[in-house]
Homo-oligomer: A and B are copies of this chain.
Amino acid sequence: MSDNIKFVQGNEACVEGALYAGLDFFAGYPITPSTEIAELLSIRLPQKGGKFVQMEDEIASVCAIIGASLTGNKVMTATSGPGFSLMQEALGYAVMTEIPCVIVNVQRGGPSTGLPTSVSQGDVNQARWGTHGDHAIIALTASNHQDVFRMTVDAFNLCETYRTPVILLFDEVVGHMRERLIVPAQDEIPLVIRLRTSVKEGVDYHPYLPREDGRLPMSDFGGVHRYNVTGLFHDMWGFPSSNPDIVKGLTRHLTDKIENNCNEITRYKKYFMEDAECVLIAYGSPARSALHVAEYLRNRNEKIGLLELQTLWPFPSEMVREECAGANYIVVVELNLGQIVHAVKMAVDHPEKVFLANRIDGLFITPDDIRNIMRLIQGKGV
């Protein structure tokens, strides 16, 4: 087997992606089912000259990567639901201060301690709304290891492009399942290099003064420029301000830089959508079962298609509305009580055509489960 072909867990695919993207610094506190990410990076990251730190808890972990990013590193942490809840306050700090970082949440069953070793997708809406105050967020996911790798690289690229935390929202099945990963050649996927300021030492650097294209060049904190970073609303110097125009401007800026670039941020796959009268919408591991259903029923000449979402937030409303325009049934497949299904209902023209196929018992949703729910929706009983 060629060196670049690996048979790995999804968590390892994420590690490979992070290393490929240039990860410099990882701080984390191990938690099932994300532990292998920390475990592998504790070996791999020092080998390439990066820093691995096991912190005392998840709050410390996310604070450490925020600091490390500000000083010029590509950073990541990884956790699961309970740790992700603990990270919410500092995650808001990274949003407000516009510090690039990648936060992986390999979802297990929740709420609370929940089901550490079982799969769920219960943190999808938390990823959107978990920290206080109006904000926007980027969250990506994937259903197979090639895509886990790719979305990890993309997460690093997007966090630099938009200066924002990016959440990788995997699930236990993807994290722990083993399958083939082909690591791309080093230049195959373009990497976004951090945009650093061209302002010279000794000249005033305005950390929150955008360039003409809206992007904010960074200066490694502790380096040649002195500037202020605060979680308070702030002006272009980074100093606190409660001036209503500045408050409104910053609120809109933090949201617009993401929502207005929804098309650029949206990653998805489509299968058999050209004439689909029944559209499955899935993401993460359930998309594997959904694809199986779509292939199976297409072989039986049913006009079924699949939209696999890889960008969950910002939610690609327009794309979903357009793709579903001709559908009679839209079946959202999730491992939760129905979270993305609400966003789908908001997006489409006929919310009454949107149904939910889900499991909430810690078990994976199988193609049979989906087909059985489709039977019920179509009035055919069990």
Contact = CB atoms under 8 A, between A and B. Distances in A.
A114 B232 contact: yes
Interface stretch (A4-12, A48-56, A131-139): A131-139
B358 A382 contact: yes
B82 A251 contact: no
A231 to B, nearest CB: 3
Contacts of A318: 301
A331 to B, nearest CB: 9
B360 A134 contact: yes
A71 interface: no
A123 interface: yes
B115 A230 contact: no
A131 B88 CA distance: 9
Given A97-B112, A248-B360, A379 B130 contact: no
Interface string A104-117: 00010111111111
Interface stretch (A197-205, A269-277, A338-346): A338-346
A92 B117 contact: no
A339 B122 CA distance: 20
Contact of A117 (B116, B242, B341, B380): B242
B355 A376 contact: yes
A254 to B, nearest CB: 8
A118 B126 CA distance: 25
Contact of A346 (B115, B232, B346): B346
A133 B123 contact: yes
A85 to B, nearest CB: 4
A112 B260 contact: no
Contact of A129 (B126, B233, B247): B126
A376 B379 contact: no
Given A232-B113, A245-B361, A379-B355, A131 B135 contact: no
A89 B86 CA distance: 6
A114 B231 contact: yes
Contact of A111 (B95, B117, B118, B120): B95
A373 interface: yes
A93 interface: yes
A96 B114 contact: yes
13 contacts: A86-B89, A96-B113, A110-B135, A123-B133, A130-B131, A244-B361, A244-B362, A248-B359, A248-B382, A338-B380, A342-B342, A358-B382, A376-B377
Given A110-B133, A251-B337, 7 more contacts: A110-B131, A130-B132, A346-B351, A352-B379, A357-B381, A358-B382, A360-B381
